[in-house]
Amino acid sequence: MKATITMIGTGDAFAQNYANNNAVIHADGFRLLVDCGYTAPTALQRLGMPFSDLDAVLISHTHSDHVGGLEELALEIMHTYQRKLVLYLPNTLRDPLWEKLNSELAQEPLPSLDDYFTVKLIPVDEPTGIAPGLIVEPVQTEHIDNRLSYSFIINERFFYSADMRFNPKLLHQLVNDRGIQLIFHDCQLSSPGTVHASLDELLTLPESIQTMTKLMHYGDTMPDFIGQTSRMTFLEQGIAYEF
């Protein structure tokens, strides 16, 4: 069965013209928010996606453009709908996330993560069925030193990088050994790529991989780069892509 993913934002952490790089996956009636940055609540509203429609949220790592809107979303859902948001986390992210929410965000300090969310830890490097027609496998990838960060293999055919440095070996393996057919990859437009893959690095991928690669997590100068991405294309906010 086909599922869809809609980017509610495609911007990097500093973009003004694009919301944070977060997405909603829609599979067989189930809606999963992938990352919830500080712009996510507004971006969801703008796209006409009420918070109450979300069944769960999945987090890749603890940067603010991926978790900065979590507390607002959780509190809103608690106060308005009297329920806790279901939170899927790679199992190693539980403590770092709580540290982040508790120290920087807490508008209403609560004793634990479980007071905000129904927490569901998922194993790394193992596929977990989240809903009928939705299987998620977290893969640890390099992003920032000393901070855990995960990419996701979704339904065994779609690779969502979230935030990662260029890793051509992994991309080749995913395509050749794991049968990945679609890649959403973060893309830093200027070089050198430091904590993200740069466009120049991604352009070194073979055509066969570029053809299945779509670019996200870009800066405000993205329009200047249209036509300079070879076989790769930029993802757009608010459009549902099938996978």
Which residues are near Zn ion by CB under 5 A?
Answer: 63, 65, 163
CB of residue 163 to Zn ion, shortest distance in Å = 4
CA atoms of 148 and 158, how far apart (whole Å): 21
Identify which of residues 77 and 188 has a Cβ nearer to Zn ion in the complex.
188
CB of residue 61 to Zn ion, shortest distance in Å = 6
CB of residue 164 to Zn ion, shortest distance in Å = 9
Identify which of residues 65 and 71 has a Cβ nearer to Zn ion in the complex.
65
Whole-Å CA distances, 241 to 2, 99, 117, 214? 10, 34, 28, 11
Task: Give the position of tokens 């892509």.
Answer: 241
CA atoms of 104 and 71, how far apart (whole Å): 10
CB of residue 206 to Zn ion, shortest distance in Å = 26
231 with 214: CB under 8 angstroms?
no
Identify which of residues 151 and 175 has a Cβ nearer to Zn ion in the complex.
151
Identify which of residues 27 and 71 has a Cβ nearer to Zn ion in the complex.
71
SS (H, E, C) 162-210: CCCCCCHHHHHHHHHCCCCCEEEEECECCCCCCCCCEHHHHCCCCHHHH
The angle subtended at Cα 153 by Cα 149 and Cα 156, nearest 5°, is 165
Identify which of residues 142 and 224 has a Cβ nearer to Zn ion in the complex.
142
Task: Give the position of tokens 């599922």.
Answer: 3
CB of residue 68 to Zn ion, shortest distance in Å = 10
CA atoms of 56 and 160, how far apart (whole Å): 17
CA atoms of 65 and 43, how far apart (whole Å): 12
> Which phi and psi angles does 190 have, rounded to 5°?
-100, 155
Identify which of residues 27 and 187 has a Cβ nearer to Zn ion in the complex.
187
CB of residue 63 to Zn ion, shortest distance in Å = 4
